[in-house]
Every structure is written in structure tokens, then in C-alpha cells.
Amino acid sequence: MSAPSLLRHFATPARSVAAASRLASSIRYTQQFRSMATQPQARFSEGSDEASLSSTLDTLLSKGRWALVNEGEAVERSFKFKNFAKTWDFMTAVSLQCKTHNHHPEWSNVYNTTFIRWTTHSPKGLSVKDLKLAMICDALAKDFGEVEAPAAETPDEGASCGIRGLADKAAGTAGDCCVPKPKN
């Protein structure tokens, strides 16, 4: 094909839009396939109703925002808002739900972004509380005006981002949350 015919081929709006659409579909399919191929097997807390939790987990993961991590023992995602005030309001609402459900996340915040990881430490693994609170986070984020992060800001699977690292560091130094603290 000559250069002028190549230019006409790709410069024609209908063709270039269709080509872009096919390319986007191909990229989405590849990303979905890659995440399915590399996604760990869920590991549920002892005594959990695995059939029910598997269904709930599948629903969360199918939306493409939550990721199954830590060898299948946790789910995590980031939430981005218009500004710090909206982010703080969201975190306050999540913290009230944590108090109600007697469960807490591993989380971190930088300006307008909050990173949340749900896992159960005792008994270790994913529990009904983790998945229920993840769904509550999604609903609260919608209520507080979560903004879609541009693709360039979305970390690749397996890639470590700074805000995730903050949560990792804090969780590593916080001590065991499930062991009663000695009274002085």
C-alpha cells in the first residue's frame, strides 16, 4: 500500500475510530486476560461461607477496581476525589462504618487519594467483613463524588505505588491489631 493510500486509510474518521475502538477492545481484553491469569486464588478466613464470599468477591473484582492481593488474603484499591476535603469526608464516613462493623482497613492518604486494603488478621484471610466493607467503600465513594483516575495514574498489576507503600509501612510497624494490648 502506498503512503498516500495509507494516509487516506488511517485519516478517514470512520476507519480510524473503528481501528481505535478495536485497539481499545484488544487492550481491555489483554488486561482482563492478564489479570485473570495472574490473579491469586482467594483465601478465606476459617469458618467463612466460601460459596457466598466467592460470589461477592467475583462481583467486586468484575468491576475492575478492586484487586485480590497478598496471596489472595486481601482486596485493595485507591479512591480519588476532587480535593482533600472530599477525601477526608469519605475517610470519616468509612471510619464510622469501621466502628459499626468492628473492623478496620490498612489504608493511607495523600491529598485527594485514599488507598484501602481490606483483610482479616485473625482468623487470617478474607472475611465477610472485608468484602462487605469494600462494597460500602464503593457506595460511599460514589456518594462523595469519586473522580475517575486517568489511565496514566492507574498502577499496573504488581507495580508498587507510593501510597500503597505508605499503607504497607504503617501496617508493618503498627503491631498485631488482633492481640489484646497489655494494661498498664
Looking at residue 148, what is its pLDDT?
Answer: 84
Q: Which element (helix H / strand E) includes 125?
A: strand 124-125
Tens-digit pLDDT profile for the chain (184 aa)? Answer: 555 554 454 444 455 445 445 544 544 444 454 445 567 899 998 988 889 899 999 999 998 899 999 999 999 999 999 999 999 999 999 999 999 999 999 999 999 999 999 999 888 999 999 999 999 999 999 999 999 876 544 444 443 356 566 556 555 555 555 555 667 6
Residue whose entry in the numeric block shows the C-alpha cell 460459596: 51
Which pLDDT score, from 0 to 100, does residue 155 have?
Answer: 46
Other CB atoms within a 10 A radius of the CB of residue 144 amount to 20
- Give the pLDDT confidence score for residue 8 in this predicted structure: 52
Query: Quick one: which H or E segment has residue 31?
Result: helix 13-38
What architecture (CATH level 2) is domain 41-173? 2-Layer Sandwich (3.30)
